[in-house]
Amino acid sequence: MPEGDTVHRTAGRLDEALAGAEVTRFDLRVPRAATVDLRGQRVQGAVARGKHLLLRIGDHTIHSHLRMDGAWFLYRPGEKWRHPAFKVRAIVGTPERQAVGVDLAEVEVVPTRDEARLIGHLGPDPLADDWDAHEAARRLGADARSIHVALLDQRNVAGFGNEYAAELLFLRGVLPTTPTPEVNVTALLDLGVRTIRANRDRPDRTFTGVNRAGRTTWVYGRAGRPCRRCGTLIRKGELGADPTRERVTFWCPQCQR
C-alpha cells in the first residue's frame, strides 16, 4: 500500500532518473490534462509531500496521487512494459529514461507557482526537510476525534496511512478508538518519524524489523491470528471521520488497552 515512505522513495527514483533532461515524450491519459504537451521542456525534478508526488517540468508541475494501487515505473526507451497499457495514466519520456504512471488515482497539471492549491492544506511531513515536530503535535493534539482517525487526517500530519496508524498504535499500546486528547501525541509522532524514515530507506516496509513475507506487521492484516507478543487473537473493526470514509482497523485487545 503506497504511504508516505513509498511516495518519497518513488520521487527520489524519478528525480535521479529524469532531473535535468529534456522531455521528448509526454502523454497524460486523463480527460482534464489530455491536451497538455510539455515536450521540449526540461525536468526540474521530483519531490513528495506526504502522499502527493510532484514532478516539475519547465514551469509546470504534474501532480499525482497513488492512492491504493498507483505506482510509477522507470524504463529504458523501447523496453517492454510489465503492465497492460490500459492501466497507464501518464508517460514522461526523456532520451534516456521513460517514467510510466500506472493506476494513478489523481493526475493534473498546474503552474508550479500554484502547487499550494493542491498541497497547501497538508500538515508537516516527517520525511520533508522542513519537518516541524512541534506543529505536528499541536495539530494532532488539537483533534478531538479518535486517534486512528486523527492520525490519518493529512491536515494534521502528512504521510501516515492506514497501515502506519494500526502499527504505530499497537507499538504504543493505544486502542484505535482512544480520544486523541488522551494520547501522548509527542511520543506517538516520535515513534512514527523514526519508523517512516527507516522504511523510506528500505526496499520493503517493515514494522517488526523482519523482512520476510508475512512477518512485517504486528497487527495490520492479521485479524483472527494470535498477537506476536501475547498470543491474544487480533481484532478487526472500522473507523472513519464519517460512514463514507471508514477504514479497517486492527488491534490487540490485550496489548492495546
Residue predicted with more confidence, 36 or 68: 36
CA 160 from centre of chain: 7
Given strand 106-111, what is the order of strands in its sheet? 43-49, 52-57, 60-65, 106-111
Residue burial 80-99, b: 16+ Cβ < 10 Å; e: rest = eeeeeeebbbbbbbbeebbb
Which active-site residues does the annotation give?
2-3, 51, 247
- Find the largest Cα–Cα distance for the chain: 60
Return the pLDDT at 1: 63
According to DSSP, the residues that pair with 108 across neighbouring strands are 63
* Closest of 49, 54, 51, 56 to residue 67, by C-alpha: 51
Q: What is the pLDDT of residues 83-97, one digit of tens each?
A: 999 999 999 999 999
Average pLDDT, the chain: 95
Q: Taking the CA of residue 13 as centre, how many other CA atoms within 13 Å lie in the half-sphere pointing to its CB?
A: 19
**Tens digit of pLDDT for each residue in 155-212?**
999 999 999 999 999 999 999 999 999 999 999 999 999 999 999 988 889 999 999 9
Mean local confidence (pLDDT), 96-110: 95
Query: Is residue 3 predicted with pLDDT exceeding 80?
Result: yes
Summarize pLDDT for 24-51 with one digit per residue, the tens. 999 999 998 989 999 999 999 999 999 9
Indicate the SS3 state at residue 221: coil
Pairing label, strands 247-251, 235-239:
antiparallel
